[in-house]
Amino acid sequence: MPICIPDTLPAVDVLRNENIFIMSSSRAKSQEIRPLKVLFLNLMPKKIETENQFLRLLSNSALQIDIQFLRIDQRTSKNTPTEHLNSFYCDFENIKAQNFDGLIITGAPLGKVAFDEVVYWPQLVEIISWAKEHVTSTLFVCWAVQAALNVLYGLPKMTRQQKLSGVYAHNITNPQAPLTRGFDDTFLAPHSRYADFPSDVIREKTDLMILAESKITGAYLMATKDKRMAFVTGHPEYDSYTLANEYFRDIHAGINPTLPENYFPENNPEFEPKAKWRSHAYLLFSNWLNYYVYQLTPYDLNTRDLTID
């Protein structure tokens, strides 16, 4: 089954041109199926680009998914038209009384910003705490992982001296875990972050299971034992050109970035990069939807207490 999104969302045309199966909201209403309700908190500046990336991965599932976009920053966006935000995004006040099957919180370019200096930090803390009672399973991505570790476990902000940028190999640490079911023993995933996630700190300071890691990136994939929270420290949703776009953007801004590792052919930025992580990304999101959301969530979201002890 496809993802269900508004008929006029820009992603509709983009994904259909890629031969990805989506369903407009008008068509979905005619089916007698209880779709999964997934809330999507988009913290990235280029929201339309991020929508396309995540919706692409969510589409590769046998489940029908009803996506609700959420925003918490009311400032005028420099990268996304106000009309788009007003048409497709809701405010937290409008949905906080509801329950959801899943919640995805994206990364944000805030690697060097202290938590208490983030404009919407109080609202994000509220949403992460709210999710424990109102969401069956929450998926945190990149910077959102750092934020969640602080809110849920009291971990201080850990920052790398040099930005981690490139495509890295990771090893499975628990091949029996549902979230890594079907993964290769070693798989590739992109990273673009200043945030640091040392595996030894995660093991010492939290009760999280580390499901995949590497010596270079640290912990990559983590989860709570009850499957109610999952954490991905990289960017499996990235398109083949996303790291290149970031690299050239930083060059033009005079930042003098390091070349993304294991990304450009022959380490030459004049050569076209190829995505080597796409199959992993699709499988990761499919496993999360199936084993962490669908298998746990009640048919009627209002009939079960979702509180995490």
Reading the chain (309 residues) residue by residue, the pLDDT tens digits are 455 666 677 766 676 666 555 555 555 454 456 889 999 999 999 999 999 999 999 988 878 899 999 999 888 888 888 899 899 999 999 999 999 999 999 999 999 999 999 999 999 999 999 999 999 999 999 999 999 999 999 999 999 999 999 999 999 998 889 999 999 999 999 999 999 999 999 999 999 999 999 999 999 999 999 999 999 999 999 999 999 999 999 999 998 899 999 999 999 999 999 999 999 999 999 999 999 999 898 888 886 555 554
Catalytic sites, residue numbers: 142, 235, 237
Is 218 contained in some domain?
A: yes
Is 9 contained in some domain?
A: yes
| Binding residue positions | 163, 192, 249
Is 87 contained in some domain?
A: yes
Number of domains in the chain: 1
Distance CA(75)–CA(133), nearest Å, equals 28
Q: How many CB atoms lie within 10 A of CB 258?
A: 13
Is 307 contained in some domain?
A: no
In 3-state terms the chain splits into helix, strand, coil percentages (rounded to 5) of: 35, 25, 40
Q: Is 159 left (phi over 0), alpha (psi -120 to 50) or beta?
A: beta
| Binding residue positions for substrate | 163, 192, 249
CA-wise closest residue to 102 among 59, 40, 152: 40
What is the CB-side half-sphere exposure of residue 238 using CA atoms within 13 A?
30
Is 262 contained in some domain?
A: no
Where do the H-state alpha helices sit in 154-302? 199-205, 242-252, 278-287
Euclidean distance between the first and the last CA atom of the chain, given in angstroms as a whole number: 33
Is 246 contained in some domain?
A: no
Range of the domain at 82: 3-159+173-238+277-294
Is 33 contained in some domain?
A: yes
Is 222 contained in some domain?
A: yes
Distance CA(202)–CA(206), nearest Å, equals 6
Domain with residue 208: its CATH number is 3.40.50.880
Three-state secondary structure string covering 89-113 = EEEHHHHCCCCEEEEEECCCCCCCC
For residue 157, give every residue at least 6 positions away whose Cβ sits within 8 Å of its Cβ, in sequence order, or none. 114, 115, 146, 150, 195
